[in-house]
Amino acid sequence: MIRIVLADDHPVVREGIRGMLLAHGDLEVVGQAGNGPEAVRLVDELRPDLVLMDLRMSGGDGVDATREIVARFPSTRVIVLTTYETDTDILRAIEAGASGYLLKDIEPDALARAVRSAANGETVLAPSAAAALLGRAQGRRPSAPELSEREVAVLRLAAHGGTNAEIGRALFISETTVKTYLARAFDKLGVGDRTSAVRKAIQLGLIAD
């Protein structure tokens, strides 16, 4: 029996995945988490064989949780199961120690096979994830997300230490609009704060160092 913890911030999604897995007699869902820190707590408490981890969750990032689980509980495997398939997201997850990267449109039987494979020590990857890792191995920079000109402008001013108010004055927009552009950039870059967004934008060549 493969014991599994589900981590996703949408209860309906968790129940759908749980139903898919319970159709297979060798798969057991022993716990459900609504965010990353809760997933870590459940792994500590239940010591499952595997975690199916959403990538972006309100209340706690899936990549950070994956990194902590892999470091603290090496016998527990983590598969990222998400709707996001940018090179940046994929590489962040794999670098954090995930044993797999799958998309939520996967067929139920394929998900069950992937869970069994990961539990047996194999790596399971959606085609887009495999392509991203191949590009990394060949020395290519991960493809940069498409930020709008205004999002880039806001990040450029943030990189020079501008506050939201200062950025707004420079671009003739309100502070609320600045926050909106930053939030959109955070989402596209797969980060959760201004410093990480600026660092990632520089790494991807979206703004100058």
Residue 114: which residues within 8 A CB-CB, separation 6 or more? Answer: 79, 100, 102, 106, 124
Over residues 122-153, the pLDDT tens digits come to: 999 988 778 777 666 665 555 667 888 899 99
**Rounded CA gap, 107 and 85, in Å?**
17
Over residues 146-195, the pLDDT tens digits come to: 888 899 999 999 998 889 999 999 998 999 999 999 999 998 888 888 88
Over residues 26-64, the pLDDT tens digits come to: 999 999 999 999 999 999 999 999 999 999 898 888 999
What domains can you pick out in the chain, each with its CATH number? 2-137 (3.40.50.2300), 149-203 (1.10.10.10)
Q: Report pLDDT for 140.
A: 54
Residue 139: which residues within 8 A CB-CB, separation 6 or more? Answer: none
Which pTM was predicted? Answer: 0.67
Other CB atoms within 10 A of residue 149 CB: 7
Radius of gyration of the chain (CA): 19
List the structure tokens of 153: 């402008």
Whether 8 and 57 have beta carbons less than 8 Å apart is answered as yes
Q: Report pLDDT for 16.
A: 95
